[in-house]
Amino acid sequence: MASAHTLPMVETRKDFAHRLLQLSLPIMFQNLLNSSVSFVDTMMIGQIGADALAAVGLANQVFFLITLFFFGVSSGSAIFIAQYWGAQDIPSMHRTMGISLIVSSAGALFCSFISIAFPTEVMHVFTKDPQVVARGVQYLVSVGISYLFTAIVMTFSTALRSIGDTKTPLIASSIALTINVVLNYLLINGIWIFPRLEVVGAAIATVIARFIEMVLLLSFVYGKKRPVAASIKTMFSFSKAMLRKFFITCTPVILNEMFWSFGMTTYKIAYARMGIDVIAAVNVSESIQGLFFVALMGIGNATAIMIGNKIGENNIDLAKLYAKRCILISFTVGAVLGLMLIGTSRWLPIPFNLNESLHAMTMHALIALGAVMSPKAVNMVTIVGILRSGGDTRYSLFAEMGGVWLIGVPLAFVGGLVLGFPLWGVYLLVALEEVFKLIISVTRIRSGKWIHRLTNDHIQLESTRSLEK
């Protein structure tokens, strides 16, 4: 008799590659779509004036922070949902969704209250310019309610992706983003029968688009009776033990996202102190790098889903095999993307209309970023895809925060402000953070200690509770 850990005979490299592409391509496309729509929105708002562009950019820092919180909660819940789906423990999967929905909605309502009740105070955190504050207040008051819609969308989108359905969130998001762009054009500029509302129009377009996305997603989930179509009663019937396990596992993920965002902000402080041209080159080079990173984000998320499902099925050997394959794929894809970035570095900054010296600085920065793309790719897969899907969230927190705060941030200040390195040199110095993360994460994965089958603790407990009812 085959053991529980025997690899299934149907598993081939072709099957694996097909499944990885099936999951990752829709995620890649959705991330690319989000980036493109954000770029178009910025262009439209920029036509109003610099003060409007600054106001919306600063006001949206609230959304940036709450989105990171949502991402932390949903990433944590995805660990459980993927494993419960693999174990076919649907009631526990639904209860995890309930916990995630409560936590995300609470955060959304808090930020909505702050945005609507104290918009002036929020804007004063960033600027004292009266025109920018006035426009930012208008935007915050109008856009605040959309945070709740986003919380609901992220909860159900994450659940769908965790069971392998990446197309449905993509379809709902594509429709909503298209509506957002059209309404932005009509309401910002006052086209046809619509009034010219400027930044308020941008906020209203966002609210309508996110509400439609929520309605579309819920309609499909419950109309088609998808496996994540949880009843209200089941979603909110979780036990204290399950709630405690959720927070023990998910809190490191939430902290990871929050402290990572603070780390990225601290990097910007270091670069800004190196000069105006440097921070301009950083913004351009990192926006270009972001387009290349879309593919790696898709692979990282697909890795988490596939490995989480296999751990839930208790197919540990196959989960380990998937981890090895995904590391090799990420290294290869990262190397190819890095070479592409280096090879096109001369031409990529051209659309930004930079002066000659700034163009050269950006080009050299892109070459440096291309050189370190491969270790970044491996870290994306090992930390986000493998360690988190295995429930090893405290170790992934240590790897990420240790790299950023003990190595990357200090070296950015030392290299840029003490040693006077050029931007490309600082980028290469900061990349030692990626080397650190790569070494300790791959070492952890090789040890096998990253695998924690989280479903074991609840299957018996929740089944007993269901029988008692």
Whether residues 232 and 352 share a domain: the answer is no
Whether residues 226 and 268 share a domain: the answer is no
Tell me the percentage of the chain whose pLDDT exceeds 70. 91
Whether residues 234 and 292 share a domain: the answer is no
Confidence of residue 212 (pLDDT cuts 50, 70, 90): very high
Dist. CA 271–CA 423, nearest whole Å: 8
Q: Which has the higher per-residue pLDDT, 46 or 119? A: 119
Whether residues 231 and 263 share a domain: the answer is no
Q: Which has the higher per-residue pLDDT, 357 or 455? A: 357
Domain final position from 206, 238, 270? 238
Q: Are 164 and 23 in contact (CB under 8 A)?
A: yes
Whether residues 315 and 183 share a domain: the answer is no
Whether residues 53 and 159 share a domain: the answer is yes
* Domain annotation covers residue 149: yes
Whether residues 399 and 446 share a domain: the answer is yes
Whether residues 82 and 118 share a domain: the answer is yes
* Domain annotation covers residue 262: yes
Task: Give φ, ψ of 457 to 5 degrees.
Answer: -70, -25
* Domain annotation covers residue 358: yes
In this predicted structure, the answer to whether residue 129 has a pLDDT above a threshold of 50 is yes
* Domain annotation covers residue 45: yes
Tell me the percentage of the chain whose pLDDT exceeds 90. 35
Task: Give φ, ψ of 266 to 5 degrees.
Answer: -65, -40
Question: What's the mean pLDDT in 77-106?
Answer: 90
Residue 65, C-beta contacts closer than 8 angstroms, at least 6 positions apart: 111, 261
Domain final position from 238, 270, 285? 238
Q: Are 159 and 81 in contact (CB under 8 A)?
A: yes
* Domain annotation covers residue 6: no
Q: Which has the higher per-residue pLDDT, 431 or 124? A: 431
How high is the pLDDT of residue 35? Answer: 63
How high is the pLDDT of residue 193? Answer: 85
* Domain annotation covers residue 249: no
Question: What's the mean pLDDT in 190-212?
Answer: 87
Whether residues 264 and 169 share a domain: the answer is no
Domain final position from 207, 238, 269? 238
Residue 37, C-beta contacts closer than 8 angstroms, at least 6 positions apart: 177, 180, 181
How high is the pLDDT of residue 102? Answer: 94
Digit-coded pLDDT (tens) for 4-50: 444 443 467 778 888 888 888 888 887 777 766 665 666 677 677 76
32-36, 66-70, 288-292, range with the lowest pLDDT: 32-36
How high is the pLDDT of residue 43? Answer: 64
Burial of 109 (C-beta count, 10 Å sphere; 0-12/13-18/19+): middle
* Domain annotation covers residue 359: yes
Confidence of residue 457 (pLDDT cuts 50, 70, 90): low
Q: Which has the higher per-residue pLDDT, 156 or 71? A: 156
In this predicted structure, the answer to whether residue 157 has a pLDDT above a threshold of 80 is yes
Whether residues 99 and 52 share a domain: the answer is yes
In this predicted structure, the answer to whether residue 256 has a pLDDT above a threshold of 80 is yes
Which range of residues forms the domain containing residue 313?
A: 255-457
Digit-coded pLDDT (tens) for 322-374: 999 999 999 999 999 999 999 999 998 887 777 888 889 999 999 999 999 99
Whether residues 226 and 355 share a domain: the answer is no
Residue 150, C-beta contacts closer than 8 angstroms, at least 6 positions apart: 63, 66, 67, 70, 108, 210
Dist. CA 309–CA 379, nearest whole Å: 21
Whether residues 80 and 109 share a domain: the answer is yes
* Domain annotation covers residue 385: yes
Domain count within the chain = 2
Question: What's the mean pLDDT in 177-195?
Answer: 87
Dist. CA 404–CA 382, nearest whole Å: 16
